[in-house]
């Protein structure tokens, strides 16, 4: 979206008096919902001023139609071609029943030369819109190129990550087989001892899956007990092995169980074998977890960009939030993420990639506000004829003196070089003009909440 129609200083509208003057010289035109008023690229087209309803302006950028602005009463289209003689730079369609004033070129130029107020309004709008549209097209082309790059990178990363994950699973099975063979041919163990040792190993594997996490003090105490037990029996590397053994659920009672059916030379071999077995299993699990994490990040990147899907589509709002959170995972290490999702929320039709940009801007600001430590709250619920998404943080809050300006373009409270002042401006435009929703903020020190309301049903999307 190029601009917010409410920004009358930057994007002026015609006053009722000017509309009345135009109506005396023009033709009243009525358009139904979705009816095309102006086609991009058209030459020698008329000027239109909006009396009632709304007009939606879009421009072709790549394969998609990108929304530029929605004009309400007092808005106007077609002034650039009138003055420059060039083709229409955008298309216009009615949003709902719409009434317009139509003026042909000759009549429009005649009125423009006679009415100073109209000329000033039109020329100001033309200059600003030319700059805005040019900048918008350039930014959209850059974003499209970046999206293609990220999609290609995600695809290339996914293949080796999936291969590494599969190899790790096979490696774990191979290690388990080698370990079983190693104990089978170890002459220090008799058959009954070997069976007891393997039975204990299987039991430990089953129990490990249900072990409760220990706090640092409890873990330290248990490792010290195990290390001292091993040292008393002159079993080497006692302190190095204690950590792995405790993680596997081996405590003093299980060590005594081993000792009850193994001689001293076999006891050290059994404990060393168990420690090596669980250490390799832990390392394999760590590698597999890392590969899984890479695959999840790649999936989140692809889902976040929506490069292979239609721009306007039915989406699950929670998937967009979650894919955005995954993108920020490196910055969330010391931040608690609280999710209060209404699982019964219906899917909504929206511009998925642009909504993800909204979540990105809001979550990124929340993380910055907390300086890397605090609580990030994501909350969704049904409200009226739409859904509400809340993103809250426990940062310092927004000063009351600047709260009314946070959605203004180029306004930022961040130090020079750390913010452009465009994030919340873009967020506001995507929510209000692109999705016909609303966004507001409540903020006190320690509790800032951005509330985004999105309607369940969007206006008819032009074909």
Flag whether 80 is in a domain.
Answer: yes
Residues 22 and 95 in one domain: yes
The number of angstroms, rounded, from the C-alpha of 347 to the middle of its chain's C-alpha atoms is 17
Same domain, 168 and 284: yes
User: Looking at residue 71, which CATH number applies to its domain?
Assistant: 2.60.120.10
Residue 221 counted as domain residue: yes
Written as six digits, the tokens of 48 are 């239109």
- Is 257 inside a domain boundary? yes
Residues 58 and 157 in one domain: no
Residue 227 belongs to some domain of the structure: yes
In a domain, 422, yes or no: yes
Kindly indicate the confidence band of residue 84, based on its pLDDT and cuts at 50, 70 and 90: low
Does 355 share its domain with 332?
yes
Residue 129 lies in a domain: no
- Smallest CA-to-CA distance from 355 within 455, 230, 461 is with 455
Domain termination residue (choose one: 232, 267, 297): 297
Q: Which conformational region is residue 451 in: left (phi greater than 0), alpha (psi within -120 to 50 degrees), or beta? A: beta
Residues 353 and 261 in one domain: no
The reported pLDDT for the residue numbered 148 is: 59
Query: Is there a single domain that holds both residue 162 and residue 285?
Result: yes
Three-state secondary-structure class, residue 67? strand
pLDDT tens, residue by residue, 39-62:
888 887 888 889 999 998 887 766
**In a shared domain, residues 55 and 27:** yes
- pLDDT higher at 112 or 306: 112
Answer for the pair 95, 54: CB distance below 8 angstroms, yes or no.
Answer: yes
Domain that holds residue 317: 310-455
Together in a domain, 317 and 358: yes
For residues 252 and 314, membership in a common domain is answered with no
**pLDDT attached to residue 1:** 40
SS (H, E, C) 268-327: HHHHHHHHHHHHHHHHHHHHHHHHHHHHHHHHHHHHHHCCCCCCEEEECHHHHHHHHHHH
Of 402, 403, 378, the closest CA to residue 389 belongs to 378
The tens digit of pLDDT for each residue in 89-143 reads 788 999 999 999 998 877 777 777 777 777 666 666 666 666 555 555 555 555 5
Neighbours of 334 (CB within 10 A): 10
Name the 3-class secondary structure at 454.
strand
**Structural domains of the chain, count:** 3
Q: Which domain-ending residue is among 258, 273, 297?
A: 297
Domain contains 220: yes
User: Among 254, 273, 297, which residue terminates a domain?
Assistant: 297
Has residue 269 been placed in a domain? yes
Residues 234 and 358 placed together within one structural domain of the fold: no
Q: Tokens 């996490």 appear where?
A: 213
Quote the tokens at residue 207: 């129990």
* Spatial separation of the C-alpha atoms in residues 452 and 394, rounded to whole Å: 18
Same domain, 273 and 182: yes
Domain CATH number, residue 447? 3.30.565.10
- Give mean pLDDT, residues 197-219: 83
Per-residue pLDDT tens for 432-451? 877 889 999 999 999 999 99
Tell me: do 341 and 413 sit in the same domain: yes
């Amino acid at each position: 979206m190029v601009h917010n129609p409410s920004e009358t200083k930057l994007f002026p509208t015609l006053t009722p008096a000017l509309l009345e003057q135009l109506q005396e010289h023009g033709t009243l035109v009525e358009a139904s919902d979705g009816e095309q008023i102006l086609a991009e690229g058209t030459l020698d087209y008329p000027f239109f001023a909006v009396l009632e309803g709304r007009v939606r302006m879009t421009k072709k950028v790549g394969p998609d139609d990108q929304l530029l602005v929605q004009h309400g009463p007092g808005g106007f289209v077609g002034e650039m071609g009138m003055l420059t003689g060039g083709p229409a730079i955008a298309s216009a369609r009615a949003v709902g029943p719409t009434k317009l004033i139509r003026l042909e070129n000759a009549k429009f130029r005649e009125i423009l030369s006679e009415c100073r107020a109209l000329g000033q309004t039109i020329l100001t709008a033309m200059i600003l819109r030319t700059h805005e549209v040019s900048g918008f097209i350039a930014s959209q082309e850059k974003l499209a190129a970046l999206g293609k790059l990220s999609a290609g990178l995600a695809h290339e990363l996914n293949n080796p990550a999936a291969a590494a994950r599969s190899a790790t699973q096979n490696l774990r099975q191979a290690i388990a087989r080698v370990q079983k063979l190693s104990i089978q041919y170890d002459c220090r163990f008799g058959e009954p001892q070997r069976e007891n040792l393997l039975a204990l190993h299987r039991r430990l594997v089953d129990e490990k899956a249900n072990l409760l996490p220990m706090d640092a003090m409890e873990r330290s105490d248990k490792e010290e007990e195990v290390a001292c037990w091993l040292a008393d029996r002159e079993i080497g590397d006692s302190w190095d092995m204690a950590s792995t053994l405790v993680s596997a659920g081996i405590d003093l009672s299980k060590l005594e169980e081993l000792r009850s059916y193994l001689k001293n030379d076999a006891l050290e071999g059994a404990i060393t074998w168990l420690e090596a077995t669980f250490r390799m299993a832990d390392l394999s699990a760590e590698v597999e977890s890392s590969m899984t994490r890479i695959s999840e990040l790649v999936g989140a990147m692809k889902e976040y960009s929506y490069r292979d899907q239609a721009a306007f589509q039915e989406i699950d709002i929670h998937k967009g939030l979650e894919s955005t959170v995954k993108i920020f995972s490196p910055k969330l290490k010391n931040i608690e993420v609280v999710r209060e999702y209404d699982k019964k929320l219906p899917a909504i039709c929206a511009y998925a990639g642009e909504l993800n940009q909204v979540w990105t801007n809001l979550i990124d600001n929340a993380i910055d506000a907390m300086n890397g430590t605090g609580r990030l709250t994501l909350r969704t619920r049904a409200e009226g004829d739409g859904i509400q998404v809340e993103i809250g943080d426990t940062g310092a809050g927004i000063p009351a003196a600047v709260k009314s300006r946070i959605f203004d373009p180029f306004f930022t409270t961040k130090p020079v070089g750390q913010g452009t002042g465009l994030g919340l401006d873009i967020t506001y435009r995507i929510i209000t003009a692109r999705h016909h929703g609303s966004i507001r903020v409540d903020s006190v020190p320690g509790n800032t909440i951005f509330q985004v309301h999105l309607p369940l049903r969007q206006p008819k999307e032009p074909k």
